[in-house]
């Protein structure tokens, strides 16, 4: 593992998107920043809002791309290149409509599952990075996907997402040392 590790939350910038299912990645990054009493976010060029903290002799860089979901790869590549981070030290938190609500899957590499943010990242840095998939369920019809992911979580769903965000932010060391164990703990009922 390199000296600098990048945690990226996928989402769309702007207050109108804050509670959207598509912004679950931003929500997790915000929870991590709050848990570590991190300094406030600042802009890295026009590509992302970033913050950082140190854990176990690693600098952890938190990032929320400002490029909008479909162009997330631009921000990830910029940060990877600027901070000289290995792709295998990049962790991307994102929504997944193919997982049941609040289920979490963690793995390195793999396909993008039709997720436009991941497609953008894959096209610019390859697939050798960690994906932390947060289930948001699937709408009843395929034609409803775009509006569904750009809709806010229902209040009871938002509570569950907040709990997952807290568990992840309290388990950063475990995410880095044993991602599969963290996945099991997050999915334990």
What amino acid positions are annotated as catalytic residues? 22
DSSP structure string for the chain? --SEEEEEE----SGGGTTBGGGHHHHHHHHHHHHTTPPPPEEETTTEEEEEEEETTEEEEEEEESS-GGGHHHHHHHHHHHHT--GGGEEEEEEETTS-TT-EEEEES---TT-HHHHHHHHHH-S-SEEEEEE----SSGGGHHHHHTSBPPHHHHHHHHHHHHHHHTTHHHHHH-HHHHHHHHH--
As a whole number of angstroms, the distance between CA 19 and CA 27 comes to 8
Phi/psi of residue 108, each to 5°?
Answer: -100, 135
Cβ neighbours, 10 Å, residue 19: 17
């Amino acid at each position: 593992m390199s000296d600098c590790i990048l945690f990226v939350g996928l989402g769309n910038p702007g207050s109108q998107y804050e509670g959207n299912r598509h912004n679950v990645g931003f929500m997790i990054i915000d929870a991590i920043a709050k848990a570590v009493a991190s300094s406030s976010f600042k802009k890295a060029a026009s590509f992302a809002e970033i913050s950082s903290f140190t854990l176990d002799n690693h600098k952890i860089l938190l990032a929320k791309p400002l490029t909008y979901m479909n162009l997330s790869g631009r921000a990830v590549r910029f940060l990877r290149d600027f901070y000289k981070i290995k792709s295998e030290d990049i962790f991307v938190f994102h929504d997944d409509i193919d997982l049941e609500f609040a289920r979490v899957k963690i793995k390195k590499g793999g396909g993008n599952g039709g997720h436009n943010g991941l497609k953008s990242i894959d096209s610019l840095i390859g697939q050798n990075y960690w994906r932390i998939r947060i289930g948001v369920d699937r709408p009843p019809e395929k034609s409803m996907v775009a509006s569904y992911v750009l809709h806010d979580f229902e209040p009871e769903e938002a509570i569950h997402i907040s709990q997952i965000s807290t568990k992840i932010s309290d388990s950063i060391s475990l995410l880095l040392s044993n991602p599969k164990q963290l996945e099991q703990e997050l999915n334990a009922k």
